[in-house]
Amino acid sequence: MRNKEKLPAINHAPFRDKLRTYLRHPVSLLGMILVVIAALATIGVLVALIVYILVNGIPYLTPELFSFTYTSENASMFPAIINTITMTFLSLLIAVPFSLFTAIYLVEYAKRGNKLVGVIRTTAETLSGIPSIVYGLFGMLFFVTTLGWGTSLLAGAMTLSIMILPLIMRSTEEALQAVPDSYREGSFGLGAGRLRTVFRVILPPAMPGILAGIILAVGRIVGETAALLYTSGTMAQIPDLTHDGLVMGSGATLAVHMYVLSGEGLHMNEANATGVVLLIIVLGINLLSSLVAKKLTKEKT
């Protein structure tokens, strides 16, 4: 008879020891149970939302919803998709440079104990806690009325760039602080200047963290409605290039488009279908960000 290969035995001792430890400390056992319940509840809520959106929206996804123009008979979402892409690009184009350079100044250039650093961080934390409707009112009073831009994509992008600036700045600052000081010391020891050290030594390993902040900002841009109702408007159209230009015309994003359709109550099926497209875009952005972050991390290791 051939000798049968013995499978490696599974060691249950660590699990049993951990269980005995929890049983000896009821408070720790209660804390573990609460943590597990909270994790399961969070996952359950997410799954329930995704299932609800897909079940109610997928049956109403038709080719007509992706036609070029919006009519009263066909609530097409294609203009909203174009406006969402334009709004996201403009907002990031404005916010990312300011956030990145501010974070670099706070971490790499500002001296410790500098009062200006405390003022900047306090201002950023205050901006991140302001409700989006307040940003919308500010954008309407300043960009739309005072500067005379009217309800336009540019006014909405400027408002959103102020909203996402603290998020990107704090994420970039934490990513830069996570880079070991030995990188800086080694670069300075080889004779490199501070500017060269920042852009050639510090930023590459910090890119995954910076990218994570930018992706979170994109998610907020795509899902924002309150601030855009007062700044970019609710028109379901692509701005006329010959008349207003691409950024000076009014247009609704996907989130605003879905809000308007559900508020009217006349196109609930189309609103549910728009929710599916919005969900796919958000999930796609998160998946793409994860892949890019992993690729950048592998390249730097």
Tokens of 184: 């800086």
The model's confidence at residue 191, banded by pLDDT at 50, 70 and 90, is confident
Quickly state the pLDDT bin for 193 (edges 50, 70, 90): confident
Q: Is the pLDDT of residue 173 over 80?
A: yes
Residue 7 has a pLDDT of 47
pLDDT over 80 at 15, yes or no: no
More confident residue, 35 or 13: 35
The answer to whether 61 and 276 are in contact (CB under 8 A) is yes
Please state, for a pLDDT cut of 90, what percent of the chain lies above it: 19
Lookup: tokens for 208? 């995954």
Q: How much is the mean pLDDT over the chain?
A: 83
Flag whether the pTM goes above 0.75. Answer: yes
CA distance 61 to 57: 7
Rounded to the nearest 5°, which phi and psi values hold at 232? -95, -15
Task: Write the pLDDT tens digit of every residue in 24-75.
Answer: 767 777 777 888 899 999 999 989 988 998 888 888 888 888 888 877 777 8
Region of 191 please: left (phi>0), alpha (psi -120 to 50) or beta: left
Q: Which CATH architecture has domain 61-300?
A: Orthogonal Bundle (1.10)
CA distance 182 to 165: 29
DSSP H helical ranges for the chain: 13-24, 26-57, 78-104, 115-128, 132-139, 153-177, 181-189, 194-197, 203-223, 226-229, 254-264, 268-300
Parse the chain into domains and list their residue ranges.
23-57, 61-300
